[in-house]
Structure 1
């Protein structure tokens, strides 16, 4: 497919076929970017691409971000179609919710392969493309689970904690070529995945622990990612921003204190 040559900026979003990734892609589209959606789920990616129905501004690429060869092939498709990359959002992620003793090494590697290796590989592959046009911005989607430990998240939480440090390494090493790198650590977000795995009781527990007393929305995460990729954040790099309704800031006893305050 041949795309119209344009100087408008290009944003690449991994895990872009649904949820937070799709919301981020839509934010970029609404703010004048051409958008590349990378995803391993071919069926969902095709449906999303058909729904967006904007071949001049949207490129959908099937890609397993944990596979170096597929990442390199994706870079070739992106540069061939759009010629440049100005923003990269490493959003692709998977999770296994099991106790430590029940988490297999294969499950451990699967989670780290996507959540950590994927961000490493995509940044390594797309940064040279950014550099050719003077730099850009990279946002890694981490998690509040990378800042505070939680049950059943030995692989997921560890991968996100490592991603946060990778963000700082990338920021330090890429800053001199004009590439800023930051991370977002979302708290609970109202996605289809959350609706499947969070029971009513679990949601109630989260509401009690979050000062804003609700889940975040995909649009709220997207707007922060967009800000970090914009000129408004031109002196921001190497940072981790918790977008969590105050979850990370809250200590024990918050539900009781809230009840007393409401009395």
Structure 2
């Protein structure tokens, strides 16, 4: 028996990286996973690898009609939404004074508005069924800051605050809302930003002496999405190997 048997879960940005790790873990725990990604090819490839009725769907979290279409497709084919994981994210590392408003807009649209769009569509459905689990993917940059990631940090700080307020507003409806904040995680995105020098420096700085792996994040998400975490809401859990501690 998995802890998510018969649950229907949507994971955004799940075509690769941390999102694919989360989708894989939720499926292993018995959930039927809707792998949503702006890249339809990776979404479908990830879903095909999961099996068990999981589906890959192209969705752009910054576009409300695209989000609406995704959720409506899920409800019409699978009947409901039990778990929503807001994982889709994007960043461009650069000093704030060198950044451009067009980049700010894209970062805020994907990282913050993306969660607004999905939650605004999904929460009423969860409230109607009297059950729901929302897990937002934050970032430790939103708790302690991160050089070169000013706007991203602002967006993720917003996600953390948004999580707390939704948790208060939705508790009576039987919905929990929590946040998982990755520290440095070994993904293609990390490799494209950092390279070996940053990897070595971070490995030295992290008390557990390694970067996070997508499955490290996925294990925390699966717990918060399950009934084992039924009395946990409004919390932010850092999965950072001890790099940050609250």
Instruction: Give the structure-2-normalised TM-score.
Output: 0.94
The structure with more radius of gyration: 1
Match of 2:229 among 220, 229, 233: 233
Instruction: Give the superposition deviation at 1:104.
Output: 0.8
Give secondary structure in 1 for the equivalent of 2:6: coil
Instruction: Give the superposition deviation at 1:32.
Output: 1.2
Which segments of 5 or more consecutive residues in structure 1 lack a partner in the other structure? 1-6, 251-263
Match of 2:10 among 9, 12, 19: 12
**d(CA) in 1 for partners of 2:191 and 2:109?**
25
1:141-152 → structure 2 map (5 Å cutoff): 141-152=137-148
Query: Partner residue of 2:165?
Result: 169
Q: Is the 8 A contact 1:33 1:57 kept in 2?
A: no
**d(CA) in 2 for partners of 1:222 and 1:85?**
19
Query: Partner residue of 1:190?
Result: 186
Query: Partner residue of 1:260?
Result: none
**d(CA) in 2 for partners of 1:47 and 1:225?**
22
Give secondary structure in 2 for the equivalent of 1:241: strand
Q: Is the 8 A contact 2:142 2:154 kept in 1?
A: yes
Match of 1:32 among 30, 33, 45: 30
Match of 2:245 among 242, 249, 253: 249
RMSD between aligned alpha carbons?
A: 1.4
Instruction: Give the structure-1-normalised TM-score.
Output: 0.88
Instruction: Give the superposition deviation at 1:199.
Output: 1.7
Q: Is the 8 A contact 2:6 2:32 kept in 1?
A: yes
User: Does 2:123 align with 1:140?
Assistant: no
Moved more, 108-117 or 39-48: 39-48
Instruction: Give the superposition deviation at 1:90.
Output: 0.2
